[in-house]
């Protein structure tokens, strides 16, 4: 039975690879993916890469987040800009030195609701990068070997779409500490090992087919950002220099100045009444609040104002 199943699978694979209709359909899917990414050159995509990229690719128009949308995190924004923009604007500083290498990955960690995902989206928008977002265990698959293949295909698609940013939200669900996952077959251990291998080669791991002014081939630029509320659950191998080079703690807003900056960012597009004083409001708030708490405060205030407006209208 197993030999028959293997024969059928091999026949299906060969038919997909060499059948003219299947090949044409695959080429059409690759062309649609290139258009979605905005890739002008004819970068080949395999069927697996297309499947994974279609599920994690986020259109830039859907992000609508810039650093102006984030208040109270000016120092972290500067750190992100330096890590992401330096290889893009001054690659000459990094090509002739083995000591000065671009940052491969940043891990954003901290309590829930502090703006880790917003920072990743804003970095992608500000730096005009193609954004591939993986949420939690999205790449895990019940079939043996498929989870690792999904990780490989994700990074291959990211290199083909370079410059790009791969964002792992809730990365602790994808790469927990090895030897502690009760999956029985060691799937999580193999996924972590595959992720480590891909991080080792995420930046400058191949030739993207584009030459610089001297005619030398450039390297695909792929940044990796991870976000987690529980950095202690991650496998230590991911946190060494050369993989996630920098661990950036995102704290809650702990000062009135930060509260006021977040409130101004959240209400910048809202029509505020003449009696609204955001600095005075910030002085009345508890000392430690997250960005999500302040967002909920603004949403509740907007809802209350809408109800007051509807109550003031005459009943037909």
- The whole-number pLDDT of residue 246 equals 85
- The whole-number pLDDT of residue 7 equals 57
- The whole-number pLDDT of residue 168 equals 92
What's the sign of the alpha-carbon dihedral 137, 139, 145, 149?
Answer: negative
- The whole-number pLDDT of residue 186 equals 78
- The whole-number pLDDT of residue 199 equals 87
- The whole-number pLDDT of residue 16 equals 53
Which pTM does this prediction carry? 0.74
pLDDT in tens, 156-189: 888 887 788 889 999 998 888 887 755 656 788 8
- In the chain (316 residues long), the average pLDDT of successive 10-residue segments reads 52 50 58 59 56 59 73 80 75 63 82 87 81 84 83 85 86 86 72 89 48 49 89 90 86 86 88 88 88 91 90 78
Structural domains for the chain = 57-208+215-249 (3.40.50.300), 256-312 (1.10.8.60)
Question: Nearest to residue 239, comparing CAs of 219, 252, 224?
Answer: 224
- The whole-number pLDDT of residue 100 equals 62
pLDDT in tens, 28-44: 666 665 666 655 555 55
- The whole-number pLDDT of residue 205 equals 38
Q: What is the DSSP string of the chain?
A: -HHHHHHHHHHHHHHHHH-HHHHHHHHHHHHHHHHHHT--S-----HHHHHHHHHHEE-HHHH---GGG--S-HHHHHHHHHHHHHHHH-THHHHS-SSS----EEEEE-STTSSHHHHHHHHHHHTT-EEEEEETTTT--SSTTHHHHHHHHHHHHHHHT-SEEEEEETGGGTSBPTT----SS-HHHHHHHHHHHHHHTSSS-S--S-B-TTSPBP---EEEEEEES-GGGB-GGGGSTTTS-EEEE-PPB-SHHHHHHHHHHHTTTS---TT--HHHHHHTS-S-B-HHHHHHHHHHHHHHHHHHHHHHSPP-
- The whole-number pLDDT of residue 300 equals 93
């Amino acid at each position: 039975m197993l030999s028959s199943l293997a024969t059928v699978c091999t026949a299906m694979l060969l038919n997909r690879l060499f059948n003219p209709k299947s090949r044409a359909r695959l080429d059409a899917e690759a062309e649609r993916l290139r258009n979605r990414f905005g890739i002008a050159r004819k970068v080949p995509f395999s069927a697996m890469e297309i499947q994974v990229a279609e599920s994690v690719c986020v259109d830039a128009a859907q992000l609508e987040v810039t650093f102006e949308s984030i208040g109270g995190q000016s120092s972290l924004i500067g750190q992100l800009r330096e890590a992401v923009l330096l290889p893009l604007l001054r690659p000459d500083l990094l090509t002739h030195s083995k000591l000065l290498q671009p940052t491969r990955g940043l891990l954003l960690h901290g309590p829930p609701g502090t703006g880790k995902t917003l920072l990743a989206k804003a970095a992608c928008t500000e730096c005009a990068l193609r954004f591939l977002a993986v949420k939690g265990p999205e790449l895990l698959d019940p079939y043996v070997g498929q989870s690792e293949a999904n990780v490989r295909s994700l990074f291959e698609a990211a290199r083909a779409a370079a410059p790009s940013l791969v964002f792992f939200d809730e990365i602790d669900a994808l790469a927990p500490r090895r030897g502690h996952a009760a999956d029985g077959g060691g799937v999580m251990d193999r996924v972590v090992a595959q992720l480590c291998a891909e991080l080792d080669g995420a930046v400058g791991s191949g030739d993207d087919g584009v030459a610089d002014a001297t005619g030398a081939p450039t390297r695909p630029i792929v940044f990796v950002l991870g976000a987690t509320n529980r950095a202690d659950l991650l496998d230590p191998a991911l946190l060494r220099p050369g993989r996630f080079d920098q661990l950036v703690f995102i704290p809650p807003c702990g000062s009135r100045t930060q509260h006021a900056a977040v409130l101004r960012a959240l209400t910048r597009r809202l029509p505020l009444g003449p009696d609204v004083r955001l600095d005075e409001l910030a002085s009345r708030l508890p000392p430690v609040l997250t960005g999500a708490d302040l967002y909920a405060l603004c949403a509740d205030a907007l809802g209350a104002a809408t109800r007051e407006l509807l109550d003031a209208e005459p009943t037909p």
